[in-house]
Amino acid sequence: MKKLTAIIMTLAMVFSMVGCAPKNEVPAVEADSTKSADIVIVGAGAAGMSAAIEAVSNGAESVIIIEKTSTTGGSLNFTSGSMSGAETIIQEIDGVEDTKESYVQDILKNGAGLGDEEMIRTYVEEDVAAIQWLWDNGLSDNKFSTDKETGTMSVFAPEHALYSQKRTYKASPDDSTKYKSAAHEILDTEVRKLSQVTIDFETTATQLVNNEKGQVLSVIATDSEGNTVRYDATKGVIMATGGYSGNLEMMGAFTENGASYLPGGSSAADGYGIYMMQNVGAYIDEEVMSYIPTFPMGLDTGNGPGKIASTYMWKVGGICVNQEGNRFVDETEDAVEIREVALEEQTNAIQYDIFTDDIIQAAIDNGAATFWNFYYGPGKPYNNLVVTASSLEELAEKLDMPAENLVATVEKYNECVETQTTDEFGRQYTEDSLNTYNLAINKVEGDTYYAVPLKALCVMTLGGVKTNTSGQVLDADGAVIPGLYAAGEVVGGIWGKFVSGGTGVMGPIVFGRIAARTAMTTELADSYTMKTPQTVITEEMFAKEEVSTESRFDMSTPLTDGEYEATVDGQEGPMTVKTVITDGKIASVEVVSQNETESIAASALEKIPSAIVEGNTCDVDAVSGATLTSNRIMDAVADCLRQAAK
């Protein structure tokens, strides 16, 4: 009997040990150095910075942010940063009556009914406090774009589906040379005040590592010197690396024409953070990964991220055709998402705005020529992208589309205008059909025909890992992966298929705050069994194109001493660089003038000239996150060297 009792007790102890301490395979990772903190955050965008601030507010004595580029901000470097919220301090000041419930319902409707209502309600509640925090920390002093009729800071934002109430806020930063959005300026300023927060720039996270308890508390990264660094957290790791709008391969894997979309943000938004979480068992809904909203108005300048730059000529009689020369949508449709999807489905996700000199005049007469006057008119930055012709046949030839299709399309359209017949897409041509998107009715006819190519522009993605309302990352069974949190675009399924105005900024801020608060106040489970990773995202989606090793200039060429200048195209205008040659070598490089986005380009503007002098070559390593600026400087110096070689 004693022997049987002993066996039972032994078995009980074994089963108890197995239940409390599951055996998880712990990756063996060698690192050149190790750093530790209460909270480790990957990504210094809106979500990452707000998480860092909130972590300190909740008692964190040390926070490390790992940032792959040379600056903070993430996608905030590529947007004016519109915010939104209901029952906020701003609406109170404006006297705008609104409800959180109305905001919730609008977001659900705008997302085609596919959003996560519980997550949206959590966001809407927390959003009020987040906007209050921004207001108290400087937003109250910023200049706002106001409603033309009422002068309120609360406005409607026509670039997205309109809300039922004025709840969008468009604030400009105080220092527009460093920031594009007020939100970025405020977050960056507050983070830099905190001695508890360290940001490791130009450091790329490559792997998440679990311990034997199944807790994910370590990040492996590579710093700017190529060294491997292990970051260990005691409270939690918060992933805030953004989406995959900069990864054409990944977008193409989940949408038919995604590989043809025009990226409108940072190339650093490659989706690798989502892949890292997948590899430790995070759940990813493959259908949700296809939720990639676009703007049907992306201009490819050939020089950096695409721009929102519709001609808006369709408001006064212009049309949009695809590569085959056919119309495919009611251009004046006020439901923006309908035009978005229609363009996404066209060959190469490209359309051509077709209009004439008569239509340009109509735009001027109706106050709709802002983009023409700013971008496309004679002498303007993108006038070289405007295709002109004296006939439709000539225009079609220049656009490489079937002339017979374009001619037939215009003839059919003009006939509808003439007879005031509603066309097959639902576009109307009567006086009572005039509205914000249909200011005047004109045929496509005139002395000169114009075309501007525009693509489906992607500035954010809506797919990613699944989290709960506390910011904790979940596995395929809906269980919390202890220690792992996520916020911002890395989280999928919150908003549905389309995004609502202002949530692209406030969503990351709100959920960054929530994730940090949870991490600092929640005890980690110590008996979690790691799940087998999914294969929704594959390593092949991150394959890099081979970089050309061809030199810009042969430095064995004899150079004549002197000062030389060269001008190249820049981000928002030309860049001029002066190069001094002394004793046949590069003695100095100076960027005399430039029109780069300061928050992104600052590191390249500082480092590339000195690197060129130090190496006596115009072929140096580009600064991570500022590749375009780096290449422009090197190209300009190469031009100077060619001058010196003559």
pLDDT at position 549, please? 63
Cα angle 269, 456, 379 (rounded to 5 degrees) comes to 100
pLDDT at position 600, please? 67
The least confident of 85-89, 245-249, 266-270, 488-492 is: 266-270
Long-range contacts of 413-421 (CB under 8 A, 24+ apart): 413/319, 413/327, 413/443, 413/444, 414/443, 414/444, 414/445, 417/317, 417/441, 417/442, 417/443, 418/443
Is pLDDT of 604 > 70?
A: yes
- When pLDDT is averaged across residues 368-383 and rounded to a whole number, the result is 95
pLDDT digits (tens, 9 = 90+) for 430-454: 999 999 899 999 999 999 999 999 9
Q: In the numeric block, which tokens belong to residue 233? A: 């957290």
Topology given in CATH for the domain delimited by 33-291+460-542: FAD/NAD(P)-binding domain (3.50.50)
pLDDT digits (tens, 9 = 90+) for 158-213: 777 889 999 999 999 999 989 999 999 999 999 999 999 999 999 999 999 999 99
Of 179, 116, 38, 78, nearest to 462 by C-alpha is: 116
Q: What are the sequence ranges of the domains in the chain? A: 33-291+460-542, 296-454, 562-644
pLDDT at position 10, please? 40
Rounded to whole angstroms, the Cα distance separating 620 from 166 reads: 50
Q: How would residue 5 be classed by pLDDT, with cut points 50, 70 and 90?
A: very low
* CATH class as words, domain 296-454: alpha beta
Domain 562-644, CATH among 3.40.50.11720, 3.30.70.260, 3.40.50.720, 3.90.1010.20: 3.90.1010.20
Is pLDDT of 22 > 60?
A: no
Q: Give a three-class secondary structure readout of 200-220.
A: ECCCEEEEEEECCCCCEEEEE
Rounded to whole angstroms, the Cα distance separating 635 from 551 reads: 11
